[in-house]
Amino acid sequence: MIYNAVFIGMKIKPISENEAEEEVKSCFKDIRTALDSSTLPIFFTYIASFPEYLVYITDQLVKNLSDPSFKATASEINNGMIESIARILPKTASTLNWIQLYKNVPSFYYFQKDLQDISLINTKIACLFITLREAIKGWAVAAKKLPGVRHHFQEEFEEYVSAEEFMFDIALIERYKEIPLKSEEQSQGEKIKDRRQLVKRPVSLARGSGRSLEKNLLPEYLKMCHLDFEEYKKYDYFWTLRVELEKTILNTLAVFPHLVFSPYNVIVELTRKYENFYELLYLLAEDFPTLAMQRLMFSGYMTV
């Protein structure tokens, strides 16, 4: 497994559930349960490198995730987001033809339902990380204390941790790794398999027994959606939509049922014993909110 990422001569090591100490493992379980997810989103494995902060913030996040009003708000945002994406980023003719080809397969219903569930989970994740970003007050002042470090850290993070690691964390299925793809798709399948090495525990979309989807559907669909998505990123209207979706989430922060209190000084107090504590600050204030929004948009685009 490839877990290590090097930052400015130091290491930030995502902590898998198998590696975690009991207290961290308990946080992981609570987050998974509150998200109604069979796997732990990769973001939290990075936060686990700073266990005191993970323990501190888990209770606040879980209270919101478990609250019926938050669930209703997240569902409303997700439904609106899917509609906006479908309108502004319509599926291409080739992708629509693929859906038409397989839509009458009996297990396609479960494939569709699971993609919808994943989209909702990713909407919740985006809400959480936008909220945490906004909660880090005094960040602008703090950043000035680290001249030249942010740029260096950003380059290191992008070198070792691609956005795809976070995007594809949503949709890689363990059961497909032993199934050979069609010859023309074999090389792409190997790339997908390699990406899975960075995922803590691969997602199984068609979870129930007897529900396994036809063998190559997900790798094919993932490939097609990824190509479509990358093409859309070349256009201004894609980024306009990205901004509008984030504004929608920002507008909901005031109605979060429970306070998320995570200012800069609290994070520092909990993590200052780690020489690289500022890495967590950068992730929470910059990278994770951005990656969570990309993840939300991609899963929304995949929804059928």
Q: Do 206 and 212 form a contact (C-beta atoms < 8 A)?
A: yes
Domain range for 292 is 68-302
Per-residue pLDDT of 226-281, as tens digits, reads 999 999 999 999 999 999 999 999 988 877 899 899 998 899 999 999 988 888 98
Per-residue pLDDT of 176-213, as tens digits, reads 333 333 333 443 444 433 333 323 333 334 333 344 44
* Position 205 in a domain: yes
pTM of this prediction? 0.78
Alpha helices in the chain (DSSP H): 22-35, 42-47, 51-66, 68-88, 93-102, 108-135, 139-143, 149-160, 163-167, 186-196, 217-232, 236-250, 264-271, 277-282, 288-302
* Position 199 in a domain: yes
What crossing angle do the helices spanning 51-66 and 68-88 adopt, rounded to 10°?
90
* Position 42 in a domain: no
Q: How many CB atoms lie within 10 A of CB 265?
A: 11
